[in-house]
Amino acid sequence: MESTEESESNVVGEKENDKLLRRSINQRFAAHKYMDSPQRQTSKDISVQPLEASHAQQTENSYTVDNQASSEFKAHKAEAKYLKHVEGQEDSPKNTKGDCKRNILRIVVMMMFVIIAVGVMVIWILQESRPKKHIGNDYFDFIYSKQVLHVYNAEQQIILTGYLQYMPQNEEKDKKFKKCYVKDPDISYCFHWPDDTKLRLYTYNIGDVHCANIVWDDIYGPKSVPRDCYNIEYGLWYGMPVAEGSFWPINMRSLDLKDIPYSSREGSPFQGSLEYFWLSTDNIVIATTQDEPLLVSINSANSKKFCIELDSKRIPARKTTMPKFNYTICQGPDILTTYITSRQLMLPHSPVISYNTSDISSLVWSYGSRGSREKQQLYRFLEELDQASLLPGRVQYEQQWEENVGDFKYKPQLFKELNMTLPIQFPNTGLILPVHVVCSYDSQNFLTGLRQHYFVQDTASNGTELLSIDSTEAAIWDTMNPVIYSKLNHNGNNGYSLLAEKADFPYFVQTSTNITSIHRIIWNFITVLLSHSKQVSIQSAFRAQDQQIFREIPAIVMTVNEKKCFSSLLPSALTAGLHGYPYIMSTIPGDQDIDEELFKRWLQVAVFFPGLKIPDYGIQFSNNESVAFTKSMLNLREKIAIYNIEKSLTDVENGLPLLRSLWMLDPWDYDTLKIDDEFLLGDSLLVAPILCHGQRARDVYLPNGIWISSFDHKEYEGKRWIKDLSVALSEIIYFTRKSQNS
């Protein structure tokens, strides 16, 4: 055992000695190389010696170093060979075979990497080597093999993808579409299908805004209707008012709508202002100027897509093809520039009125909206308003003033009271009458209208188009007929409120001149009313922005977190402004459950709207506090709201609404994009109302600028939140933007 241990220790010792020996040799060899290399000598290695001794010493040193280096080099070579043998480092057949395998594996991996890299490059070349933007400018790209339209921003990022889909239903549906030959230089791209349906793409620029016009033409028939879908998963969208849920911006998570007629008819999930105009925070507008009815789908089956198509069921049967499906997509540098340019391009221009020469801003009291007042109490109501110094410029008589709808004539017992006595006792108070675009079957004008063709006709049968309204039938006035103008002459210089009918109107009708849309009938009726009145308000409208009218915004009570709230009031008002209606007023429908607190919260908001209509039940003359509160709100309107409205009227000509979203002041402020409970009146007054019953505090966001508060008159820096502001029931928070020149 001792000899074995001793031999093992000897072997270990020999190996350690060999290692030390090799290290020593390596060091000496390195020293030799260092000395033998003149480049490695530095100034510190050179000593100054007498000139006479330098040559002899150099010769001696050279001889010594050469012999020493030669012997050490040989020793190093021998020792290195010995150490290789001791440590088993010589190459063997086994190691050579392993190296070959490693080399082969290395080559295979390298070849696979090259193949993958080449494949990626080929795919990229196939995708990107085609002309990327080839329909007129650098912002639109149509991949015709897939019928996919890409919209780009200035950074060449895809911000919208559309799927322009058409599937023929005839025997040629399996045939592919082809490019069509066109001579029109304005057409950037054109395709046609075997059934002659065509898709044309036009591109053009308006300053920094770039647009593409998509036109489906010569559509084969009602069973073959193009359906264009756009991915709206990214970005926020405005202009889609829904009856339930949030829509400023649209909340897709709460929606699943498929092929819904885009109208506000009874039972529709949509409400309020319904224009074919939709805006995205990715600086995109999708809009159309055509009158044809559309079907829309929003997030159907969680698709994150917005789809539009012609509503073929509501288009009259024609012998030839379907009407064109024509819409435009615009993209700009920011959301505000895109909006203003597209609004001026796609929507009728609004007139600029003067509040100094027009009574359009005068207060309106709504009398009898709940049907609880007797007609003889109207004078008593006006006398109480007069005594409280609240006598309005106009009063709207909400009860039935005609014997039957469509008479356009006072009831005999009302004629003397409303048309003769009222102007004498209250000469400065005008009367507003509710009117309808229909004539009841029971009206004295119905039979005459049938004989004289005063009503529109059905497009298929050429018979009078009849509707079912309130358990009776009614016909639609042909407002293209000049005789309608004379029907209103004997009612004096009154104002009118055009009521929305709870009926399913046909979209197209036959008039005395041609086939037209029901919207054109209503537009002409507004023209008739304006020819007899200085003030007309409407509950529903389509493409009537160029009329001097007030668009009524109903205050609908909703339950939010177990509280009664006016949650849709401001989103509806902002959407109406977005759609080009600058002159709006808030109203409270008579069937709403409004108590004193909700009425106060509503009035605090309503006084900042361009028009104001107050229901008669909102004030209690026996309650001094109620009268004082109403007078204080009207005083606030006169001093603050009207001043800012008049100052902002010139902006209407440039396409801006009077009531604005916060992002219209600073389109680059992302925090403003989702705020739907604050608004701007012009560009220098911010209003932050309380909209829920029982609420006594709220957060307020201030956009860019210096803002002076209404509650402490201090200055606040913009682009920040002010948290948990206390708001008493009698108060409303507003901020005035400090002028940059002050």
pLDDT tens-place string over residues 676-705: 999 999 999 999 999 999 999 999 999 999
pLDDT value, residue 321 = 63
Contact 449, 407 (CB under 8 A): no
Contact 550, 584 (CB under 8 A): yes
DSSP labels, 226-276: -EEEEE-SSS-EES--BSSS-BTTB-GGG--EEEEESS--TT-SB-S---S
Q: Which long-range contacts (CB under 8 A, 24 or more apart) does 258-264 make?
A: 258/297, 258/300, 258/301, 259/295, 259/296, 259/297, 259/300, 260/295, 260/296, 260/297, 261/293, 261/294, 261/295, 261/311, 261/314, 262/293, 262/294, 262/295, 262/296, 262/311, 263/293, 264/500, 264/540
pLDDT value, residue 102 = 77
pLDDT value, residue 160 = 97
d(CA 714, CA 201): 55
Higher local confidence (pLDDT), 697 or 740: 697
Handedness of CA 226, 270, 606, 708 (dihedral sign): negative
At 308 the three-state DSSP class reads strand
Nearest to 691 by CA among 562, 577, 564: 564
Q: Which residue has the tokens 């001149």?
A: 513
Q: Which residue has the tokens 């010139």?
A: 650
Beta strands in 14-129 (DSSP E): none
The pLDDT-based confidence of 567 (bands split at 50, 70, 90) is: very high
d(CA 228, CA 213): 13
DSSP state of 681: E
CA atoms within 13 A on the CB side of 397: 26
DSSP labels, 361-406: TS-EEEESTTS-S-TTHHHHHHHHHHHTT---SEEEE-S--BSSTT
d(CA 434, CA 499): 6
d(CA 60, CA 322): 113
CA atoms within 13 A on the CB side of 238: 28
Mean pLDDT of the chain: 82
Nearest to 290 by CA among 543, 548, 579: 543
d(CA 407, CA 482): 17
Higher local confidence (pLDDT), 740 or 338: 338
pLDDT value, residue 421 = 77
The token duo for 738 is: 């400090």
**Which residues on neighbouring strands pair with residue 734, listed in sequence order?**
687
Q: Mean pLDDT throughout 173-188?
A: 71
d(CA 126, CA 735): 57
The token duo for 594 is: 């409004």
Structural element, H or E, at residue 685: strand 685-688
Q: Report in angstroms the alpha-carbon separations of 220 from 224, 477, 521.
A: 6, 33, 28
For residue range 374-399, list pLDDT tens digits in order: 556 788 889 999 999 998 888 999 88
Contact 583, 551 (CB under 8 A): yes
Within 10 angstroms of residue 317's Cβ, the number of other Cβ atoms is 9
* Size (the chain), residues: 742
Q: Mean pLDDT throughout 645-674?
A: 96
- Is the pLDDT confidence value at 53 over 50? no
Residue 308 burial (C-beta neighbours within 10 Å; 0-12, 13-18, 19+)? buried
For residue range 264-310, list pLDDT tens digits in order: 776 788 887 789 999 999 999 999 999 899 999 999 999 999 999 99
The token duo for 380 is: 């008593």
Angle between helices 2-36 and 51-87 (to 10 degrees): 140
d(CA 438, CA 471): 14
Contact 512, 478 (CB under 8 A): yes
d(CA 383, CA 633): 20
Phi-psi group of 119: left, alpha or beta (phi > 0 → left; psi -120 to 50 → alpha; rest → beta): alpha
pLDDT value, residue 175 = 60
**Residue 395, φ and ψ in degrees, nearest 5:** -130, 135
Chain centroid to CA 389: how far?
Answer: 44
- Is the pLDDT confidence value at 229 over 50? yes
Residue 659 burial (C-beta neighbours within 10 Å; 0-12, 13-18, 19+)? buried
> What percent of the chain is helix, strand and coil (3-state, nearest 5)?
35, 25, 40
The winner for highest mean pLDDT among 458-467, 514-523, 668-677 is 668-677
The token duo for 563 is: 């509280």
- Is the pLDDT confidence value at 535 over 50? yes
DSSP labels, 407-435: --SB-HHHIIIIIIIHHHH-TT-EEEEEE
The pLDDT-based confidence of 415 (bands split at 50, 70, 90) is: confident
Contact 381, 394 (CB under 8 A): no
pLDDT above 70 covers a percentage of the chain that reads: 80
Nearest to 396 by CA among 422, 358, 420: 422
pLDDT value, residue 471 = 83
pLDDT value, residue 11 = 42
- Is the pLDDT confidence value at 675 over 60? yes
d(CA 284, CA 443): 49
For residue range 590-602, list pLDDT tens digits in order: 777 889 999 999 9
Calculated CA dihedral for residues 445, 449, 451, 457, nearest 10 degrees: -150
For residue range 6-47, list pLDDT tens digits in order: 444 444 444 444 444 344 444 443 444 434 443 433 333 333
Contact 143, 130 (CB under 8 A): no
Contact 469, 404 (CB under 8 A): no
d(CA 294, CA 325): 9
Burial track 50-73 (b if 16+ CB lie within 10 A, e otherwise): eeeeeeeeeeeeeeeeeeebeeee
Q: Which residues contact 228 (CB under 8 A, 6 or more apart)?
A: 162, 163, 164, 165, 214, 307, 308, 309, 327
3-state secondary structure 440-493: ECCCCCHHHHHHHCCECECCCCCCECEEEECCEEEEEECCCCCHHHHHCHHHCC
**Residue 19, φ and ψ in degrees, nearest 5:** -65, -45
pLDDT value, residue 58 = 43
The token duo for 543 is: 């493409």
pLDDT value, residue 169 = 63
Which of 366-375, 399-408, 427-436, 534-543 shows the lowest per-residue confidence on average (mean pLDDT)? Answer: 366-375
d(CA 105, CA 127): 33
Phi-psi group of 235: left, alpha or beta (phi > 0 → left; psi -120 to 50 → alpha; rest → beta): left
The pLDDT-based confidence of 194 (bands split at 50, 70, 90) is: confident
Q: Report in angstroms the alpha-carbon separations of 23 from 66, 272, 543.
A: 22, 93, 96
Contact 151, 160 (CB under 8 A): yes
pLDDT value, residue 32 = 42
Q: Which residue has the tokens 């029901």?
A: 518
Higher local confidence (pLDDT), 416 or 128: 416
Which of 174-183, 502-511, 618-627, 648-657 shows the lowest per-residue confidence on average (mean pLDDT)? Answer: 174-183
